Amino acid sequence: MYKNSVQRFKEIVKILAHYGFGSVVDKKIKRQDESSPKNLRKAFEELGPTFIKIGQILSTRPDILPDPYIDELSKLQNNVPAECFEAINNVFENTFNISIKKAFKSFDEKPLASASIAQVHKATLFSGENVIVKIQRPNIKKQMNMDIEILSKIFSLAKLKLSDFIIDPQEALEELRYSTELELDFTNEVKNMKKFREFNKECNYVYSPNIVENFSSNKVITMEMIDGFNINNFSKLREYNYDREDIGKKLILSFFKQVFEDNFFHADPHPGNLLIYNGKICFIDFGLMGSLSKSLQEALNELIMAIVYEDIHKIISIIMSIGIKTGYVDRNNLYEDIDYILSAYMSTSLKNIKMSDLIQEILKCAKDNNLKFPKDLTMLIRSLVIVEGVAVKISPDINIMSIARPYVKSKNKTSLFSDFNLDNSLIRTRTFIKDTSRMPTKFVELSDSFLNGRAKLQLKIHGLEKSIRSLNRMVNRIVFALIIASMIISSSIILVYNIGPKILNISILGISGYLLAAFMGLWLLISIIRSGKL
């Protein structure tokens, strides 16, 4: 633990400088060399838990970071040196007022895994039940809070430098504060585990560990030990005669159930968090869970239905409704981009379509058209990408689109009339009939306006002001360059005829004109270089 924030600040600066500080603060992150993403990951790993958490948050945001950075930050490892047993025992004893030796029949002092926030030990209760004990590292909260405060000061000092950053640093920092508070309070993970078990208690192919309530708190989680193996352990799958295609299909169906029925999905379903246990897929590590608002969940359901039925107008309407506008959105341009994507994908067989790629293409298309999706949705897309990748590795011939189509259709059949409201339907029908009856009159009025010259056509060109500003800037630079050229020519004439006051028989006016022209020329050159458009 660091004695004060000054020492930690020096270490942060030293490590960032070693790996290239530009990897963190350069707003033109896409222009850096190929080693930048790897250097950023290594720097975060060396800087410890706070920066690992920052990397993990950023790895869930494909909407704000380029793919090479997402891929590298997804590899962030939590493996760090283990705390000594005495330190871990102190945390446990301070929490439950009983030592580990007295609480358990046996306790393995060597951790099974040692992560940045906690470490995991194998133990046995006096009842004979084997359990896993996850204990938070001592002083980890203090260290992470110190790092967050240091980052806050760095962002404040570099406010102007970071004003055009690829992401909003303060927004990212607030997200880090929130997620850190949640993750450091283990009662949240316990609640997630209980909620997940409740949702899946009747699902015969999904499982999650039981919680041992007596030894679970805000700093300790004690849970049932799962004597299984990782879902991508192919030798074990063969040894126990598991059908890999069946497992892959069940994994995808489970994820769809979590998203569309439970609205509570595992946000980090990589192979390390998926075990095979007694013929079931066992989910572990519930520190990061996702959910969508009701409106966003309905919009996502409609979006997948629109993709399945290839309804491009519906797709655009949904994207426009859920997207956050970051600039002017040209609906026609968006239509053409979506139409191109659908034409490329839908012209191939289902076997060749990766649903995660399709949704990511639509996400990128929205971003290119000044639309940003909510972070909850981007988290879901990342989880979908991970699940599909795991399923494809288990069963290479599996296709998530072929599973999604009948699943979504069947779920929508059951809910087709669930939201039907007779009063609303009658009101809409009355409005439609009323508006339809007015159409002939409105058509006559429109025709009359055209014939009498009262009709007006309003033409609005979007983006014209930006073009005019660029044109003004260009004209100003040309005028400035002409003034510099005229000064050079006039100064040359003055020097040739040696007019005016002289020093060492050289005209002061001529030399002054040259110096002023040189200064103005340098000013013009710097402004052009800073604009990034030579």
* 258 and 355 share one domain: yes
* 198 and 332 share one domain: no
The ranges of the chain with pLDDT < 70 are: 1-3, 21-34, 57, 60-64, 77-80, 158-172, 175, 308, 346-356, 405-426, 428, 458-464, 532-534
The residue segments making up the domain with residue 62 are 1-76+146-183
Exposure string over 461-499, b if 16+ CB within 10 A, otherwise e: eeeeeeeeeeeeeeeeeeeeeeebeebbeebeebbeeee
Query: Under a CB-based contact definition with an 8 Å cutoff, are residues 362 and 341 in contact?
Result: yes
Out of 225, 254, 276, a domain closes at 225
Query: Under a CB-based contact definition with an 8 Å cutoff, are residues 140 and 184 in contact?
Result: yes
Task: Say how many C-beta atoms besides its own lie within 10 A of residue 22's C-beta.
Answer: 14
pLDDT in tens, 215-246: 999 999 999 999 999 998 999 999 999 999 99
pLDDT at residue 25, rounded to an integer:
47
Identity of residue 447? S
Task: Please check whether residue 220 lies inside any domain of the structure.
Answer: yes
Could you give the number of structural domains in the chain? 5
Q: How far apart are CA 483 and CA 474, in angstroms?
A: 14
What pTM did the predictor assign? 0.69
pLDDT in tens, 305-359: 787 677 888 888 888 888 888 788 888 888 888 888 877 776 665 556 666 677 7
The enclosing domain of 116 has a CATH number of 3.30.200.20
* 55 and 156 share one domain: yes
Task: Please check whether residue 304 lies inside any domain of the structure.
Answer: yes
3-state helix, strand, coil in the chain (%, to 5): 60, 10, 30
* 119 and 102 share one domain: yes
Find, among 186, 188, 174, the residue nearest to 136 by Cα. 186
* 416 and 434 share one domain: no
Q: How far apart are CA 470 and CA 467, in angstroms?
A: 5
